[in-house]
Amino acid sequence: MGVMRFLHLHFFLLLIISILGAIDGVDDDQYCDCRYDFPPDFIFGSGTTAYQVEGAAKEDGRTPSIWDTFVQSGEQPGDVDVGCDQYHKYQEDVKLMADMGLDAYRFSISWSRLIPNGRGPVNPKGLEYYNNLINELLLHGIQPHVTLHNYDLPQVLEDEYGGWISPKIIEDFTSYAEVCFREFGDRVLYWTTVNEPNVFVLGGYDLGFLPPQRCSVPFGNRNCSKGDSTTEPYLAVHHCLLAHASATNLYRTNYKDKQHGHIGLSIYGFSFATPTSLKEDALVAHMAKQFFYDWILNPLMVGDYSTMMKKRVGPRLPIFTKDESNLVKGSYDFIGVIYYKDMIIKYIPNPWNIENRDVFADIQAQMGELGEKSSRSAKSLRGVLEYLKQDFGNPPTIIYENGFKTERNSSLQDVARVEYMIEHTRVVLDALRNGSNINGYFTWSFLDVFELLSGYKSSYGLFYVDLDDPDRKRYPKLSAKWFSNFLQVKATSLHLDGVMEL
């Protein structure tokens, strides 16, 4: 009789959901599949990065990073000395994560907080903070997923030898990684070495509008005082790949057998659309997609840049030695994917010869963001995942960033973000069912953080942070409630004040 009553109750609940959907005019697409439709070991999480969320920029021995210098230059003003203040409020934030039902939290370590001089002595206060954060996550059953570098290289290394454009960075990054593996690896099972190198070099070393603001005329969109847009983006990526491979080799040699973790690198998942139906635009969109994926993934897969990359870039493309090639090949356990929306790309005639071209001239393209309507479509994420499956051997992947931008002080009822999350989680589920090797999905971002491109003007967060409140109080948005319901397998709808629970 107990089983029969359960079945009758289950049927009754489904009937209520169907009736409510019919009454409110909701079609099936407005109901998101719950997490139980995913494999039991599939990871759901959310993320932030150190510079964007920690605050305490001048506390407890932390020294400036190139991101500090970028903000202090006035390029993207904002209060980052305190910011969201997770440095002091991490326990409160972890409690919010646990209450939501998150499996995992992705965060980055501030190199200049942990090792203030870039190399040498470890800062005890920095070590204490990250140990406390990791332990607090584990206490609440939340996996820590750690990124080692996210745009915030210690300024001292940039000043000393130019940071990522110098091969010296390989040794220093490997030493920094070893400190992290040694101190935190007994509790951290997922490591990302470098976040989206195929995009941070474009803003940092080609166009010069992101840290460390290196570029050269006529390519940079600012008055550049240092840099070379024709060569430095390729040097920076080359050294990112070698530093990643060196750290991966160290981890596999000295730590993996004891710690049983996984190590990878994240790429920005470009998807391109064209403003016209001209064949030139279609061709350059295809070329750009191949270019930005091959640039990072081909060396990881086969130990060398692709023939296409060599042909387009010519002698400006660095060369892997035989030992370097062997080191880079296969140096990943997973690929992290960063995806937000389409980019629009257009063919432009190239007036420069091969020795005097930047990255965009190498693909004869001009690129920019598409409009809001296109940014809401999840079809392009499906294309990214299928491209990885078909063209790169279907590597293990984790979607580490996926989010929707709104104005910072807009309503807590962020229905558009919920719609975006519904569409994109469904695409991930469809891709899984079609054979894509996806192991996790993380929203960007857990809190409204200091964004690289817009500071505090825009937000992606599940939680609003009141920056006018000395206590930096957090407020859940509709998207946080929806995601919590999704994760805790409760029926969800966009009606009745945004979230209905049955």
Under a CB-based contact definition with an 8 Å cutoff, are residues 220 and 230 in contact?
no
Under a CB-based contact definition with an 8 Å cutoff, are residues 326 and 303 in contact?
yes
Angstrom distance (rounded) from CA 403 to CA 398: 14
Angstrom distance (rounded) from CA 72 to CA 378: 36
In 3D space, the residue among 374, 460, 377 whose CA is nearest the CA of residue 423 turns out to be 377
DSSP notation for 376-398: T--HHHHHHHHHHHHHS----EE
Q: Which one-letter DSSP state was computed for residue 205?
A: I
Residue 369 annotated among the catalytic residues of the structure: no
Q: Is the dihedral of CA 263, 212, 76, 357 positive or negative?
A: negative
Instruction: State in Å, rounded, how far the first CA of the chain is from the last one.
Output: 23
**Which three-class secondary structure string do you get for 313-358?**
HHHHCCCCCHHHHHHHCCCCCEEEEECCCCEEEEECCCCCCHHHCC
Which position among 324, 401, 419, 451 bears the catalytic label?
A: 401
> Within 13 Å of residue 332, how many CA atoms lie on the same side as its CB?
28
Residue 196 annotated among the catalytic residues of the structure: yes
Which position among 54, 136, 158, 196 bears the catalytic label?
A: 196
Angstrom distance (rounded) from CA 225 to CA 216: 8
Angstrom distance (rounded) from CA 180 to CA 148: 8
The catalytic residues are 196, 401
